[in-house]
Structure 1
Amino acid sequence: MADLAGKTALVTGASRGLGRAIAERLAADGALVAVHYGTNKAAALATVAAIESAGGQAFPVAADLERDDGVDVLFDGLVAGLGGRPLDVLVNNAAVFGEGIDASEEHFDRVFRVNVRAPFFIVQRALSLLPDGGRIINISSGVTWFAVPEVVYAMTKGALNVLGRSLANTLGERGITVNTISPGITRTDMNAWLDDVPGAPEGVARIVALGRVGEPVDIADAVAFFASPDSRWVTGQVLDVNGGLYLGPKAALHH
């Protein structure tokens, strides 16, 4: 596909996992992709190399989004890499996992800084670079509609859902669409338990209608739709991309 030929994209947290898959897909669709990373430079360079070896274009951008100056550093690198070009697609993917009700104030603040504060101010800064008709895509989580012990993380993802709806309404006059993707149980570093806990993938498969664990490419393909011209009439939406998670019993209930 070449839906994004001549376009540019920023994917935060793109050195591995969902972010890498999203960056690779957008690049395959023709976009020049800014591959943001926090600390893992080697992984980011590997993502850029993979994109380039497949015939795409990308450049790395380093910024620690936990720091006060993280967004400033990000945009310094982004603007330099874009070389005067606009930013057509913004994907807020970077996130850190949060703890439960016993979380310390320090941990609570860190998770909210990376997962909520950073996306908000990234959008704020990006608005001067985004042309009319641009795309903003936020990566949320299924934990906004089913309960998990890690309440701090879940709270941050709920905030992203609200951000997306509000921004979609505000930015609609410019033709900028804002949509949110809510992945289900997907094989990433954050979900290492899928490989560490015996029988975990099989257990997940039993509660997913399509009968398997999600893969990063499943999420990346949905992002590609929201980034493409095909999504021009879709905004303010939260899309569950989870293979049919928790839809109900697969077998008939007998009373």
Structure 2
Amino acid sequence: MFRTLRPDAVLVQAVIAGALSFAHLHDLAAAAGQDGWKAWAYPVSVDLLLVAAWRRMRTDTGNRDAWLWFAIALIASLGANVATAGLLDMNDVPAWLRILVAGWPALAFLGGTLLAHAPHPTPDPESVPVSEHEPAIGLVVERAPEPAPELPPAEPTAVEVQPEPAPQEERPEPAPSAPAPAVPVPPALLAHAQKIADAHRAQTGEPIDAETLRTRHGMPAALADSIALQLA
């Protein structure tokens, strides 16, 4: 099934803004003497540095280098947008701007390398809060036993002579209860147990018992007793 494409206003706005900024950076690079594929590589370099710095800022909010390179990439993008708005003669670009455009690749390479190889922050184990409901690991608090209270000495009491109990009539012993019903055994399991019992009898010459069935096959004791009774 095909999914219905729904336009997202934020995504459309981001695409339009990115395309305009990309075109402005390309026009400025071309006006500064960077022709051919080099003029198209400049906007890609600026946008990639901007995205890399933003991702580093999100993972490490206290990293000042990420904020610095984000500001540099943002100034480069905004500068190109403002410069191509008619404030600069694109046919006669000043020398300082040509120097900045020519030196941008080395600056972007340095910033991307520092952002990619910056160490990630590791949480300090001492700063991790410990929940009140979870005991701290490795801490065992032993409590000294309290001394037992001293009991007052017992006073001698008179020995009371209890009358002998009257002889009780002998009651008949209750009849032994009927054995519990055997656990139902599936036919397939019973057939498999029969093969095991035959192999055990061939090896040892004795019938297999319930304990052997339970040990070899890890079955419950009640089920092993029921199978042993049916195999007997």
TM-score (norm 1): 0.22
Flag the structure with more relative contact order, 1 or 2, with Cα contacts below 8 A and sequence separation at least 6.
Answer: 1
Q: Which has the higher helix share?
A: 2
